[in-house]
Amino acid sequence: MLRFASLLPFLILPAATAVAADKTKAVETVSALEDQAAVAVTIYNQDLALVRDSRSITLAPGQQTLAFREVSAMIRPETALLAAPSLQVLEQNFEYDLLTPQSLLDKYVGRKVQLVKTHPTTGEEAKEEATVLSAGQGTVLKVGDHIESGVPGRLIFPDVPENLRDRPTLTMLVNSKDGGKQDAVLSYLTGGLSWKADYVAELGADDTSINLSGWVTLKNESGATYQNAKLQLVAGDVNRAKEPMPAPMMKMRAASAELGMDGGMAEESMFEYHLYTLGRPTTIKEKQSKQVSLLHADGVKVKKEFVLQGQNYYYGSAAGDLGQKMKVGVFLELKNSKEAGAGQPLPAGTMRVYKKDSAGSLQFVGEDRIDHTPENETIRLKLGDAFDVTANKKQTDFKKASWTSGTAYESAYQIELKNAKEEAVTVKVVEPVPGDWEMIEESAPHVKESAGTAVWNVKIEPKASSMLTWRVRVKY
Summarised one tens digit per residue, pLDDT across range 92-101 is 888 766 677 8
The pLDDT, as a whole number, for residue 26 is 52
Nearest-angstrom CA–CA distance, 302 and 96: 52
Q: How deeply is 307 buried, as exposed, middle or buried, from its count of CB atoms within 10 A (0-12, 13-18, 19+)?
A: middle
In this structure, are residues 368 and 382 in contact, taking their beta carbons and an 8 Å threshold?
yes
The pLDDT, as a whole number, for residue 8 is 39
In this structure, are residues 49 and 193 in contact, taking their beta carbons and an 8 Å threshold?
yes
Looking at residues 336-347, what average pLDDT do you find?
92
pLDDT confidence band for 13 (50 / 70 / 90): very low
Residue type present at position 101: P
The pLDDT, as a whole number, for residue 210 is 96
The pLDDT, as a whole number, for residue 332 is 96
User: Cα 306 vs. chain centroid, distance in angstroms?
Assistant: 32
Nearest-angstrom CA–CA distance, 81 and 371: 33
User: How many Cα neighbours within 13 Å face the side chain of 69?
Assistant: 15
How many other CB atoms are there within 10 angstroms of residue 382's CB atom?
A: 15
Nearest-angstrom CA–CA distance, 413 and 411: 7
The pLDDT, as a whole number, for residue 264 is 66
In this structure, are residues 154 and 105 in contact, taking their beta carbons and an 8 Å threshold?
no
How many other CB atoms are there within 10 angstroms of residue 55's CB atom?
A: 20
Coil/strand/helix, residue 357: coil
In this structure, are residues 470 and 397 in contact, taking their beta carbons and an 8 Å threshold?
no
Which part of the chain has CATH 2.60.40?
303-336+377-475
Looking at residues 66-87, what average pLDDT do you find?
90
pLDDT confidence band for 167 (50 / 70 / 90): confident
414-438 pLDDT per residue, tens? 999 999 999 999 999 999 999 999 9
pLDDT confidence band for 406 (50 / 70 / 90): confident
pLDDT at 355 over 80: yes
Residue type present at position 379: I
The pLDDT, as a whole number, for residue 271 is 82
Tell me the CA distances in angstroms from 321 to 61, 87, 327, 415, one per residue in order.
Answer: 88, 80, 15, 11
Nearest-angstrom CA–CA distance, 70 and 64: 19
214-272 pLDDT per residue, tens? 999 999 999 999 999 999 999 888 887 776 655 443 333 333 334 333 456 888 888 88
Looking at residues 123-141, what average pLDDT do you find?
87
287-322 pLDDT per residue, tens? 999 999 998 999 999 999 999 999 999 999 999 899
- Minimal CA–CA distance to 167: which of 267, 240, 89, 95? 95
How many other CB atoms are there within 10 angstroms of residue 204's CB atom?
A: 16
Q: What would the CATH number be for the domain defined by 303-336+377-475?
A: 2.60.40
